[in-house]
Amino acid sequence: MSQGMAVAVPKKASHKVPLRRQFKAARGLLLMFIPGFLLILLFNYGPMYGLQIAFKDFKIMRGIWGSNWVGFEHFQRFFTSPVVLRVLKNTIEISLMRLVFGFPAPIILALLINELRDGFFKRFAQTVSYLPHFISWVIIAALVRALLSPSTGVVNAAIKALGFQPIYFLVSTTWFRPVLILSAIWKEVGWGSVLYLAALSSVDPTLYEAAIVDGATRIQRMRHISLPTIAPVMSIVLILNMGGILDAGFDQIFNMYNTNVFEVADIIDTYVYRAGLISYEYSFASAVGLFKSLVGLIMVLSTNAIVRRLDRGSALW
C-alpha cells in the first residue's frame, strides 16, 4: 500500500438511546416533575390569558371576549397621569436603595458566619438570622410601629433619655425610607445568606489551611478564597434582582405607609392596588402591571448579557 493512500477508518456505530427508552428509564424523575410543572403552568402561565384586558375596556358582565378593544389607551393614560412621575421616581429610588444596601448584606453575613469555628454557635447564628424571613410583614410592621412609637417606643425612649426630641419615624418623609430599608434588610439578610453559605461549604478546607500557613489574615482569606467561590452565585442573584427593579416591596410598604409619606412611599404596586381593587379599574391596573413586567424582563435580559460578556460562566444562559 502506497504512503499517499488514505486508510479508511471504520466509523463507530452510534448507540443513540431511543427517546421512548429514555422516558422509561427516567419515569420516576418525570413523575416528581409533573406536579411542579402543572403548578407553574396553572398559576404562572395560565393567568397570562387575562393580560389581554390591558388592551380592552374590561367589564365583568361582558367578560374578556365581550369587552371592547381600546388598544393602548390605558398605557397612554398611565404615562400622561399627573402622579406617574412621582410613582416611578419612588419605585426606582426605593428599589435602588434596596439593591445597593440589601444586595451586599447577605454576602457579608455569609462571610462572617463562615469564619465561625464553633459548630454550635455557627448553627445558632445562622438559624437566628433567617428566622425573620418566615414572619409576615403584617407582624413586622406592628413590631416596627411599637419600637418606633414616639410615646412608648424603645427607640424614642432612648432618644429622649439623651436629651433629644422624639422622632416621628413613620410619618416623616425623611426617616420613612431608612426605616423601610433597614427593616427589609433585617428580615431577609439571613435567608439571602443561605445560598452563599451553601457555595462556601464546597470550598476545600485545605485551601484555608494553606493560606493560614502562608500568613494570610482573615480578610485576605475572604478576599482571595471565599469571594471568588461565591462570585458566580452573586452574579446570578444580581441578575434576578435586576428583574425586580420596579418591585419595591408592596407587602412591606402597604403595611407601613400612610398618607403623610405618600410623597416618598407611593410606588407602582400600591398605585395598581388602589386603581384595580379600590377603584375597580381592572384594565388600567393590568396595563400598569404589564408595563412593570416588561421593564423587569428587559432588565433581566440586559443584565444577563452584560454578565455574559464579562464572565460567560456566571450568566444565567
Q: Which domains does the chain have, with CATH numbers?
A: 91-284+296-314 (1.10.3720.10)
pLDDT, tens digit (0-9, with 9 covering 90-100), for 95-112: 999 999 999 999 999 999
Q: Looking at the predicted structure, is the pLDDT value of residue 4 above 50?
A: no
pLDDT of residue 192 exceeding 50: yes
Kindly indicate the confidence band of residue 1, based on its pLDDT and cuts at 50, 70 and 90: very low
The β-bridge partners of 59 are 63
Q: Name the CA radius of gyration of the chain, rounded.
A: 27
What is this structure's pTM? 0.81
pLDDT digits (tens, 9 = 90+) for 201-239: 888 888 888 998 988 888 898 988 999 888 888 988 888
So what's the pLDDT on residue 21? 84
Q: How far from 302 is each of 93, 102, 237, 312, CA to CA, in Å?
A: 20, 21, 14, 14
> 109-163: per-residue pLDDT in tens?
999 998 887 778 888 988 899 899 999 999 999 999 999 999 889 999 999 999 9
The whole-number pLDDT of residue 2 equals: 45
Closest to 187 measured CA to CA, from 105, 99, 93: 105
The DSSP string of 219-265 is HHHIIIIIHHHHHHHHHHHHHHHHHTTT---HHHHHHH--GGGHHHH
Which are the contacts of 3, defined by CB distance < 8 A and separation ≥ 6? Answer: none
| Percent of the chain predicted with pLDDT > 90 | 39
Measured CA to CA, the distance from residue 169 to residue 71 in angstroms comes to: 44
Q: How far apart are CA 292 and CA 278, in angstroms?
A: 20
Q: What's the confidence (pLDDT) of residue 22?
A: 82
pLDDT at position 14 = 52
Q: Is the predicted pLDDT of residue 314 greater than 70, yes or no?
A: no
* Calpha distance 175→250 (Å, rounded): 18
Predicted pLDDT at 311: 73
pLDDT in tens, 157-187: 999 999 999 999 999 999 999 999 999 999 9
Whole-number pLDDT of residue 148: 93
Q: Please, which residues bridge with residue 63 across strands? A: 59
